[in-house]
Amino acid sequence: MNNRKQIVVAVAGNPNAGKSTLINAIAGSRLHVGNWPGVTVEKKEAGFEFEGHYIRLVDLPGCYSLSPYTQEEIITRDYLVQEPPDLIVNVVDATNLERNLYLTVQLMELGIPLVMALNIYDEAESKGLRINASQMAETLGIAVIPTSAVKKSGLDDLLRTVVQVADSPEAHRPKRLNYGEDVENALEGILDHILHSHASLLDRYPVRWLLLKILEEDASVLKAANITSGSLPQQPFDHLRRAHGDDIEGLMADARYAMVAGLCREVLSRPEKRNPELTERIDRIVLNRFLGIPIFMAAMWLLFKLTFDLSAPFGEWIKDMTGGPFKRWTEVVMGTIGAPDWTVSLVNDGVIAGVGSVLVFVPVIFAMMFFITFLEGSGYMARAAFVMDRAMHAIGLHGKSFIPMLLGFGCNVAGIYATRTLENPKDKVLTALLIPLMSCGARLPVYVLFVGIFFPDNSGTVIWVLYILGMALAVLMGFLFKKTLFRGEVPMFIMELPPYRMPSFVSLCLHTWEKGKHFLIKAGTYIFAVSVLVWFLLNLPWGVENKHESYLGRAGSVIAPVFKPLGFGTWEAASSLITGVIAKEIVVGTMGEIYAPKKDDEGEKEQPTLGEDVKEIMVSFSGAGIKAVSSLFYLPIEAEKEEDTTALNEAVKGHFTPLSAFAFMAFVLLYMPCMVVVAAMRQEFGTWRWAGMAALYSTLLAWVVAFLVYQGGMLLGLGG
């Protein structure tokens, strides 16, 4: 262990330069990547062995400069300054050289050995950009390695250089950039003062960087270093102000821009004539003032349609398997080991009915995550935010808030953390309050169950309506909050629109799996645990005959009247909603247990053998595959409308009408965010206040909306 040298490598660069992709390509990790700025919002690590060294790569949130504005930029700067790594790999987007180099010159000031990965080199080449890497390396005094994280080229080169530089850091200090005589003199003056009265600071911070920050009067650095600007000698500042005007920070920024522009003139040559690129042509349509929002809505609709059509057959298959062979096998196994009767019921009517009814929806969730990953990777996500910005600006929100909200479609928790990309703390809280209204993957099982029973012909569309309903309410509530709790100016929204990129199929699958696996983990852990507890609650007091009289039944009955005006005032619905606070899928799981068929319903049937079972599993799986593919091409496979006759479906059909089913779905969409979201909000904002507020207002909103849906529908005569 000890003869192996450990190298800590910070990977820093502009947002969307491909830092996370590069680390994934090198270390085989699965960091979240996406084609929009601001994907990574906290420090992440991946480690591996390379030629006798242990290399720890630290992925940092992207930033445009080291004078940070947003929380995730602060994370990056604090890390680089306070826990200096052995080496920084500066990932530079070769297609945006000038903007990226602005950060590079600042990173050089940190005095940490620096290696530049000139990434996205493949795209730069195909655009006809020519970059003289060796000249750039010479001018800056750092190694410059052209790489492509996607094509996996140049990576070995990069690693070898990293090891080399780490082995002899002294020989690889970046060149010191000269800011001109006036600035350099001022820096000297400050250095004298620091040597006199704050010498200890020189051990804590890189010297030149510290001097520059003091000169720029960077508030957070002065505060951290315990220097009041009054205690500084005024002479260097005055001298500079007299020569160059009052804005010293601006002066420094100009100097850096000038260096970068000069460098680019030397090393970069652009092709003479350029055709409008594909990205521009697509954007002309997609970002069109009038078509933008309709196109976004249509894209969403298509997403649900595809999700639903592709996954439904596999869901059916899982349903048949858990309710059929799987259940039989556990019965046989438990019978042979002589397990007590009640444990057999616990496993069958508790675990299999509960977890099983959630597992049925795993294919839907995965399909959904697949399409969301595609949207993220292609670059459309940033456009959606841009398009919505116009609409949202009108009511006092801005489009950047929309990205965390879109991420909330996958999992609300992800959305809550993505609010870190917002500059203004008020916007952050406001956006986080709205995210629970975005329908996450965990609510899909509820929709799919009800839609499959009551709206089998328009399933995709009804689910789409629910998502739109959530978004529309988010906009409405955002407006109300902005007018009451969070008054203030709406800052202009500036967002880079990255070029469209076709994500590779392999990376799509990997990232789909990363997102989807958490739902499997949930099913295996707390959904499982809750299923067990619900079984007990349904069977206590011990020996209770009628589930209605069980503890859960009684609890449900107590609050059921609250839901009466909403069209679902049954104890079954009420108790599912109670348990669903832990996670929304559990609504379905609990229903599965409540409506689990009573024993001896099935009578003595011929039991198939193990071999027959296995064969049946295979055959029906390939059948599901064929159905999914044919639905994709709208080949009507012979319409053998199998009636769904599971106990759960039958029972739901008996207890709801299409109208009350819709009200119920709307309620599930809106009421109280799941516990994990509440906990995430509490963690992110450090107080229960906003988490509590989100739980409270969303539950009230859910009630009101479901009430309006149900009563409105009754008035319109849709009650049937």
Ligand X SMILES: Nc1nc2c(ncn2[C@@H]2O[C@H](COP(=O)(O)OP(=O)(O)OP(=O)(O)O)[C@@H](O)[C@H]2O)c(=O)[nH]1
If one asks whether residue 16 binds ligand X (CB under 6 A), the answer comes out as: yes
Helix 585-594 and helix 528-539, axial crossing angle in degrees, nearest 10: 40
Q: Which of 110, 136, 143, 149 binds ligand X (CB under 6 A)?
A: 149
If one asks whether residue 698 binds ligand X (CB under 6 A), the answer comes out as: no
The region, left, alpha or beta by phi > 0 then psi within -120 to 50, assigned to residue 231 is alpha
The tokens describing 487, both together, are: 């008054």
- Binding at 122: pick from ligand X, Mg ion, another protein, none (beta carbon under 5-8 Å per type): ligand X
If one asks whether residue 343 binds another protein (CB under 8 A), the answer comes out as: yes
- Given the complex with ligand X, which of 42 and 192 has the nearer CB atom? 42
Apex 164 CA angle, 162 and 168, nearest 5: 115
Asked if residues 67 and 92 have their Cβ atoms less than 8 Å apart, the reply is: no
If one asks whether residue 403 binds ligand X (CB under 6 A), the answer comes out as: no
- Binding at 342: pick from another protein, ligand X, Mg ion, none (beta carbon under 5-8 Å per type): another protein
Q: Which of 7, 12, 20, 429 binds ligand X (CB under 6 A)?
A: 20
Q: Which of 12, 26, 39, 397 binds ligand X (CB under 6 A)?
A: 39
The 10 Å Cβ neighbour count of residue 396 is 18
CA distance 263 to 99: 12
The CB-of-20 to ligand X minimum distance in angstroms stands at 3
- Given the complex with ligand X, which of 38 and 354 has the nearer CB atom? 38
The CB-of-30 to ligand X minimum distance in angstroms stands at 12
If one asks whether residue 424 binds Mg ion (CB under 5 A), the answer comes out as: no
Cα distances (Å, whole numbers) of residue 90 to 22, 113, 374, 650: 11, 10, 27, 60
- Binding at 576: pick from ligand X, another protein, Mg ion, none (beta carbon under 5-8 Å per type): none
Asked if residues 422 and 401 have their Cβ atoms less than 8 Å apart, the reply is: yes
CA distance 640 to 629: 17
Asked if residues 474 and 438 have their Cβ atoms less than 8 Å apart, the reply is: yes
The CB-of-604 to another protein minimum distance in angstroms stands at 28
Asked if residues 590 and 570 have their Cβ atoms less than 8 Å apart, the reply is: no
The CB-of-637 to another protein minimum distance in angstroms stands at 33
- Binding at 676: pick from Mg ion, another protein, ligand X, none (beta carbon under 5-8 Å per type): another protein
If one asks whether residue 39 binds Mg ion (CB under 5 A), the answer comes out as: yes
Asked if residues 356 and 323 have their Cβ atoms less than 8 Å apart, the reply is: yes
Binding part of the chain for Mg ion, among 36-44, 90-98, 153-161, 569-577 by CB under 5 A, reads 36-44
Q: Which of 143, 346, 362, 596 binds another protein (CB under 8 A)?
A: 346
Which x/- pattern over 360-399 shows residues binding another protein (rule: CB under 8 A)? ---------x--x---------------------------
The CB-of-363 to another protein minimum distance in angstroms stands at 17
Q: Which of 10, 11, 22, 41 binds another protein (CB under 8 A)?
A: 41
Q: Which of 7, 37, 398, 591 binds ligand X (CB under 6 A)?
A: 37
- Binding at 623: pick from ligand X, Mg ion, another protein, none (beta carbon under 5-8 Å per type): none
Binding part of the chain for another protein, among 487-495, 512-520, 621-629, 688-696 by CB under 8 A, reads 512-520
Residue 118 phi, psi dihedral angles, 5° rounding: -85, 85
Half-sphere exposure of 401 (CA within 13 A, CB side): 30
- Secondary structure (DSSP) of 538-549: HHTTTT-SSGGG
Q: Which of 57, 62, 142, 447 binds ligand X (CB under 6 A)?
A: 62
Asked if residues 588 and 582 have their Cβ atoms less than 8 Å apart, the reply is: no
If one asks whether residue 18 binds ligand X (CB under 6 A), the answer comes out as: yes
Tally of residues, the chain: 720
If one asks whether residue 396 binds ligand X (CB under 6 A), the answer comes out as: no
715 Cβ contact partners less than 8 Å away, ≥ 6 residues apart = none
If one asks whether residue 32 binds another protein (CB under 8 A), the answer comes out as: yes
CA distance 398 to 405: 12
If one asks whether residue 45 binds another protein (CB under 8 A), the answer comes out as: yes
Which contiguous run of DSSP H or E holds residue 419?
Answer: none
Q: Which of 261, 332, 485, 529 binds another protein (CB under 8 A)?
A: 529
If one asks whether residue 150 binds Mg ion (CB under 5 A), the answer comes out as: no
Size of site (CB under 8 A) for another protein? 50
Binding part of the chain for ligand X, among 119-127, 439-447, 644-652, 682-690 by CB under 6 A, reads 119-127
- Binding at 37: pick from another protein, Mg ion, ligand X, none (beta carbon under 5-8 Å per type): ligand X
If one asks whether residue 89 binds ligand X (CB under 6 A), the answer comes out as: no
Closest CA to 501 of 150, 153, 27: 150
If one asks whether residue 15 binds ligand X (CB under 6 A), the answer comes out as: yes
Cα distances (Å, whole numbers) of residue 28 to 151, 358, 473, 503, 511: 14, 31, 41, 17, 13
- Given the complex with ligand X, which of 53 and 151 has the nearer CB atom? 151
CA distance 643 to 623: 17
Asked if residues 418 and 407 have their Cβ atoms less than 8 Å apart, the reply is: yes
CA distance 443 to 677: 13
If one asks whether residue 584 binds another protein (CB under 8 A), the answer comes out as: no
486-494 contact pairs (CB < 8 A, 24+): 486/426, 486/427, 486/429, 486/430, 488/424, 488/426, 490/393, 490/396, 490/397, 490/398, 491/398, 491/423, 491/424, 492/398, 493/389, 493/393, 493/398, 493/399, 493/400
Would you give the DSSP letter of residue 328? H
Coil, strand or helix at 440: coil
The CB-of-163 to another protein minimum distance in angstroms stands at 17
- Binding at 539: pick from ligand X, another protein, Mg ion, none (beta carbon under 5-8 Å per type): none
Would you give the DSSP letter of residue 527? I
Q: Which of 360, 375, 418, 666 binds another protein (CB under 8 A)?
A: 418
419 Cβ contact partners less than 8 Å away, ≥ 6 residues apart = 401, 404, 427, 428, 431, 432, 435, 684
Q: Which of 57, 75, 81, 120 binds ligand X (CB under 6 A)?
A: 120
- Binding at 150: pick from another protein, Mg ion, ligand X, none (beta carbon under 5-8 Å per type): ligand X
- Given the complex with ligand X, which of 78 and 616 has the nearer CB atom? 78
Q: Which of 514, 616, 644, 650 binds another protein (CB under 8 A)?
A: 514
- Binding at 675: pick from Mg ion, another protein, ligand X, none (beta carbon under 5-8 Å per type): another protein
If one asks whether residue 40 binds Mg ion (CB under 5 A), the answer comes out as: yes
Closest CA to 380 of 476, 499, 269, 517: 499
Whether cis (ω within 30° of 0) applies to the bond prior to 491 is no
- Binding at 529: pick from Mg ion, ligand X, another protein, none (beta carbon under 5-8 Å per type): another protein
If one asks whether residue 340 binds another protein (CB under 8 A), the answer comes out as: yes
Binding site for another protein (CB under 8 A): 20, 27-32, 41-42, 44-48, 340, 342-343, 346, 369, 372, 407, 410-415, 417-418, 514-515, 517-518, 521-522, 525-526, 528-530, 532-533, 536, 542, 582, 675-676, 679-680, 683
Binding site for ligand X (CB under 6 A): 13, 15-21, 33-35, 37-40, 61-62, 119-120, 122-123, 148-150, 377, 501
